[in-house]
Structure 1
Amino acid sequence: MTARYCSLARAPEPAFPAGLAAERLGALMSGRRMWVNGTVLHYCFFDGDGDASVIAVPGSGATRRVSWVGAEDQRDVVRDCFREWADLGIGVTFAEVADRSEAELRIGFQQGDGSWSAVGRDALLAGRGERTMNFGWDLTAPGERTVALHEIGHALGMQHEHQSPFAGIHWDDEAVYADLAGPPNHWSRERTWFNVLRKLDADEVNGSVWDPQSVMQYPFTAGLILEPEQFRGGVHPPGTLSPLDKEFGLRWYPPAGAPRLPVLVPFRSVALSLGPGEQADFTVEPRETREHTFGTFGESDSVVVVFEERDGEPRFLAGQDDGGTPRNATVGARLVKGRRYFVRVRLYSGWGSGETAVMCW
């Protein structure tokens, strides 16, 4: 029997300028959806009467509301899977909040809408009243807990493993289309192509080898894969975090180091000796309440994010991504005397001969 599959929707593709060097473009593709390390990802569950989709009733011309609210046992599965990812010791942590305006990840349980998630920072493109993740069937059923692990993997920036160009999969395309057109998925050819048959760019996949044991790998029945020969009988991942899944999380989000971060002092630039994908972290303790500006300098592509410490954890305040542009990231934020702030700079690539730097003023 065919499994129920995660169904990602198309997200806007970045419009990088033509003529970027291959190395620079590859670095941008690799890191553009990843959070800066040290981020606390706040998640909430929709729980109000108005949290619903309005859908058409086939053949009647009428509409009905389908709730996004999930039962407590469904929420507990998701909470447990957040804990499992966090227990790896990755540098991104998770916190449940009740106020959706405080949440980067907003989770619904609309039955019949499939299971899906925004990939990484694409979640920031959704409006405050919109879902960034949905679970469309019972997560407490045998074998379905893996769906929550899988969607959280997407929220961390991971892609579907079977779409990796390193997999070398030769599909029986028409068999795949026919299989997913039937129950329980009922997918169109476009949705099947986008989530299964489409090959991802080598720079945006989870690793340089295919991991058929990954939690991001769909299970497939026999008769869909022609090559490699050993998978003609299907692919059957265990539904748990594989060693390479864990390696991915720890590579992109290494555990936090020493608690004392260097202080970014106004009007004093700090050189950034970073390689592609590396990050620099600073604290700012303003001496006066006023508008501050944070900026990078040099020929580089980077993302700069400012957090305010509230209740002992960093809350997103402002950020900018200058990837693929000729300008540098510049972020403005009002800082309040007596509070503490964090500035995190993640480098995609340095493409010039000079040093890069960060400064606030």
Structure 2
Amino acid sequence: MADQDPLPIDASKFQRAADSPSPDDVPTPGLCGNQPNGGPYVPSKPETAATSTRAVIDMDRRWKNGTRLQVVFLTGDDAWGQAIRQAVRRIAVQWSDYANITFDFDQPAAHITVNLVPGSIPQLGWSVNWGSYNCFMGTDCLNMRKQFPSLPSMNLVFPPNLQNDPNLMDAEFSRVILHEFGHALGLIHEHQRPDRPIDWTPDVFSYYGAPPNNWSQQMVQEQIINAVQGGTLMGGAFDINSIMMYQYPQGLAAYKDGTPFVSPNNVILTPLDKVVVAMAYPVEGAPASNEQTLVPGEAARPGKIDVAGRVGRYKFQPQTEGVYTIATTGMPALVALLGKRDDPAGRMLAAEGANAKLTFRPKNVGQDYFVQVRHARPTKGTGDFQIAVTQVS
């Protein structure tokens, strides 16, 4: 997609990484709740409907790079179930444009099993209703099935009344399927990353404790408030537009500096969602380009991705304070900016497009910054591009 990532000029408040977790934070289960009554979308609340529009992965729950993940539908043989199955086959594979992972559907054996209908699953303590969406994290999908071979590792129980609004149905399919298969690849909730720059208010308990969610305080703690711990996490800057972020209205949280926190209803992958999974599941055997030095203000330098999965690597050093842009032209590209070479460390930004432009204010002048350029479909695409760094103010 050619949409530009709406990066803030001064991203410093999104880049504060906690040196150590709060003693109040406790580990969360390896399971996405994604709201038992339909996730961020609530049919009775029009304001939660999808609108057009970055990610953290638990490296300890990654599949082996290059795995062909076999997905089996346990239920959903009726017409509505077949429609959901077709949507899953069409949408989940978007992740394979960026991650070196393949999804195979309807195989005899399975890494991931999917339920599409309401019901009770007492072995897991689940009461699955219309609008129940959840998934175990990464390899936990298979670990759960070793204990309960016939049970689902993912629930995609879309309510049939979505068919009354085809546009909303398509948006919900995209939002939920991308989100849950993100979990299946090992991605955590964006709002539960340890370095999140937000604090929750007590109103979050009453908001999710009320209908239609009716969550207990424990559920709110586990699915929203508690930061994920225990795994080796890799991710970019905090991203309210990530497919892994819930939608939150104003009043439930605020940034550390007091700025109100609001997140939209995200239905597509962002550039950072894509870059993070491309780094976690790189194309095997794709040679990296030799790192080249860019000088702000100099003419654009030519680059080439001649092998699918190859990464163009650059570094530059801003010498004066101000606002800079990194711009590419030519092939559709994913452009990532890192404060440390090959290490997102909560400080990676990204932009995307045939004319990708990433605007930022460096926190430290006289320090090296690192740029990675991928084709916009890293596992498949090749092409030529031009890249330049410019100080704009």
After TM superposition, the score normalised by the length of structure 1 is 0.53
Contact 2:136 2:183 in 1 (8 A): yes
Q: Structure 2 matches for 1:151-170, cutoff 5 A?
A: 151-170=180-199
Distance 1:252 1:181 in 2: 36
CA change 1:152–1:218 in 2 (3 A) is same
**RMSD of aligned residue pairs (Cα, Å):** 2.9
Aligned counterparts of 1:37 and 1:197: Cα–Cα separation in 2: 31
Uncovered stretches (5+) of structure 1, i.e. residues with no partner: 1-8, 13-28, 50-66, 259-361
- Pair 1:238–1:168, CA change in 2 (3 A): same
**Which has the larger displacement, 160-169 or 139-148?**
139-148
Once residues 116 and 45 of structure 1 are traced to their aligned partners in structure 2, the CA distance between those partners, rounded to angstroms, is 15
**Equivalent residue, structure 2, for 1:129:** 150
Q: How far apart, in 1, do the equivalents of 2:283 and 2:259 lie?
A: 36
1:209–1:157 distance in 2 versus 1, CA, 3 Å: same
Q: Share of identical aligned residues, percent?
A: 29
Structure 1 residue 47: Cα displacement = 3.3
- Stretches of structure 2 that go unaligned for 5 or more consecutive residues are 1-27, 32-56, 119-127, 163-167, 287-393
Is contact 2:179-2:243 (8 Å) kept?
A: yes
Do structure 1's residue 109 and structure 2's residue 116 form an aligned pair?
yes
Q: CA deviation at 1:191?
A: 1.0
SS in 2 for 1:10: coil
Counterparts of 1:117 and 1:183, CA distance in 2: 23
In 2 relative to 1, CA 205–110 (structure 1 residues): closer, same or farther, beyond 3 Å? Answer: farther
Contact 2:70-2:107 within 8 A present in 1 as well: no
The one-letter code sitting in structure 2 at the alignment partner of 1:86 is: S
Change (3 A) 1:87 1:208: closer
Matched, 1:224 2:252: yes
Deviations along 1:67-101, one digit per CA (max 9) or x if unpaired, are 9x96111112211222211123x2111110243xx
Distance change (3 Å), C-alpha of 1:178 and 1:137: farther
Query: Which residue of the partner structure matches residue 85 of structure 2?
Result: 75
Paired amino acid for 1:129? S
Q: In 1, distance between residues paired with 2:139 and 2:106?
A: 19
Q: Distance in 2 between matches of 1:137 and 1:31?
A: 30
1:59-208 to 2 correspondence within 5 Å? Answer: 71-88=81-98, 90-99=99-108, 102-111=109-118, 112-113=128-129, 114-125=132-143, 126=145, 127-138=148-159, 141=169, 143-144=171-172, 145-172=174-201, 174-201=202-229, 204-208=232-236
Are the counterparts in 2 of residues 214 and 237 from structure 1 also a CA contact under 8 Å?
Answer: no
Tell me, yes or no, if structure 1 residue 251 matches structure 2 residue 279: yes
Q: Distance in 2 between matches of 1:170 and 1:96?
A: 41
- Change in CA separation of 1:176 and 1:223 when aligned onto 2, cut-off 3 Å: same
CA displacement, residues 94-123 of structure 1 (integer Å, 9 cap, x when unaligned): 110243xx1101001133442100100001
Alignment size in residue pairs: 213
**Residue 10 of structure 1, aligned match among 12, 15, 29:** 29
CA distance in 1, matches of 2:58, 2:244: 17
Q: 1:92 to 1:235 in 2, by over 3 A?
A: same
Distance in 2, matches of 1:196 and 1:162, equals: 7
Distance 1:110 1:38 in 2: 31
- 1:36-86 deviation line (CA, Å, top 9, x unaligned): 10110000111389xxxxxxxxxxxxxxxxx9x961111122112222111
User: After the TM superposition, which parts of structure 1 deviate over 6 Å for at least 4 consecutive aligned residues?
Assistant: none
Greater relative contact order (Cα 8 A, min sep 6): structure 1 or 2?
2
Q: Secondary structure at the match of 1:71?
A: helix
Rounded to whole Å, the distance in 1 between the matches of 2:191 and 2:272 is: 14
